[in-house]
């Protein structure tokens, strides 16, 4: 395992390929909650975004953490290439942020279906690991 430079073009390319990731958050009892998600990354801002329904377990876990955020990791794997983004996740529900996250998701994956309860889990990345 090695720390990666998030400004490296190989890193940027890897996180723009159409691939799913796993998102790990921590439940109050300390056990991991791991789910497949689509992730978009903004290397310049040091953030990763996951769109989801506000009623999802991952959104409820992040919301319950409050202002300090919740420890989270997004991991993408493609054969021997992999990258994990570690940081703190925060729930964002303002319309401008949700619209921007949907726009980014549509560019990487496809236009998501309408969801009036959509929120964004914004991960402020503190560590980047991997082999890309």
Write the CATH number for 123.
2.30.110.10
Q: What is the pLDDT of residue 3?
A: 57
In-domain check, residue 1:
no
In-domain check, residue 121:
yes
In-domain check, residue 60:
yes
In-domain check, residue 2:
no
Q: What is the pLDDT of residue 106?
A: 97
Per run of 10 residues, the mean pLDDT along the chain (length 132 residues) is 68 93 96 98 92 98 95 97 96 97 97 96 94 89
In-domain check, residue 3:
no
Please choose, from the candidates 41, 60, 50, the residue with its C-alpha nearest in 3D space to the C-alpha of residue 130. Answer: 41
In-domain check, residue 48:
yes
In-domain check, residue 4:
no
For the full predicted model, state whether its pTM sits above 0.85.
Answer: yes
Determine contact, residues 40/101, Cβ cutoff 8 Å: yes
Q: What is the pLDDT of residue 6?
A: 67
Q: What is the pLDDT of residue 4?
A: 58
Q: What is the pLDDT of residue 1?
A: 44
* Tokens 């409820």, residue located: 60
Structural domain count of the chain: 1
DSSP E strand stretches across 1-132:
21-26, 32-37, 40-42, 47-53, 70-78, 81-92, 118-131
Domain of 18, in residue numbers: 9-131
In-domain check, residue 37:
yes
């Amino acid at each position: 395992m090695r720390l990666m430079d998030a400004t490296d073009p190989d890193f940027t390319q890897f996180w723009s390929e159409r691939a799913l990731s796993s998102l790990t958050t921590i439940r109050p009892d300390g056990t991991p909650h791991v789910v497949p998600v689509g992730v978009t990354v903004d290397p310049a801002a040091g953030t990763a975004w996951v769109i989801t329904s506000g009623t999802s377990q991952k959104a409820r876990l992040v919301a319950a953490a409050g202002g300090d955020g919740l420890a989270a990791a997004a991991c993408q794997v493609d054969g021997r290439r992999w990258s994990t983004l570690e940081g703190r996740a925060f729930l964002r529900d303002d319309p401008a942020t949700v619209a921007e996250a949907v726009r980014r998701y549509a560019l990487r994956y496809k236009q998501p279906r309408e969801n009036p309860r959509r929120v964004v889990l914004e991960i402020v990345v503190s560590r980047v690991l991997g082999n890309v």
